[in-house]
A = this chain, B = another copy of it.
Amino acid sequence: MERTMYFLDQKDMPTHWYNIQADLPEPLPPLLHPGTKEPTRLPPPLFPEACNEQEFSKERWIEIPEEVQEIYRTWRPTVLHRARRLEKALDTPAKIFFKYEGTSQAGSHKPNTAVAQAYYAKKQGAKRMTTETGAGQWGSALSMGCMFFGLELKVYMVKVSYNQKPYRRILMETWGANCVPSPSTDTEIGRKILAENPDSPGSLGIAISEAIEDALNRDDTFYSIGSVVNHVLLHQTIVGEETRKQMEMADAYPDIIVGCIGGGSNFAGQFLPWIRDKISGKKPDMRIICVEPMAAPSLTKGPYTWDYGDIAGLAPIVKMYTLGHTFIPSPIHAGGLRYHGMAPIICHLYKLGLVEARAEYQIPVFEAGVKFARTEGIITAPEPCHDLKVTIDEALKCREAGESKTILIAHSGHGHFDLAAYDEYLSGKLKDYEYPEEKVREALAELPKVPSGI
Contact = CB atoms under 8 A, between A and B. Distances in A.
A426 B378 contact: no
A422 interface: yes
A287 B374 CA distance: 41
Interface in A143-189: 144, 147-148, 166-167, 170-171, 173-176
A117 B257 CA distance: 37
Interface stretch (A18-26, A69-77, A209-217, A295-303): A69-77
A352 to B, nearest CB: 38
A374 to B, nearest CB: 6
A251 interface: no
Contacts of A175: 373-374, 377
Copy tally for this chain in the complex stands at: 2
Contact of A174 (B73, B81, B107, B426): B426
Contact of A170 (B9, B10, B167, B420): B420
Nearest to A416: B416
A61 interface: no
Point out which of A2, A10, A170, A426 has the most chain B C-beta atoms below 10 A from its C-beta: A170
B174 A422 contact: yes
A103 interface: yes
A314 interface: no
Nearest to A144: B377
Contact of A379 (B1, B73, B75, B174): B174
Contacts of A1: 10-11, 69, 73
A5 interface: yes
A376 interface: yes
Interface of A: 1-5, 7-11, 69-70, 73-75, 81, 85, 103, 105-107, 144, 147-148, 166-167, 170-171, 173-176, 370, 373-374, 376-379, 416-417, 419-420, 422-423, 426
5 contacts: A3-B10, A166-B419, A173-B423, A175-B374, A176-B374
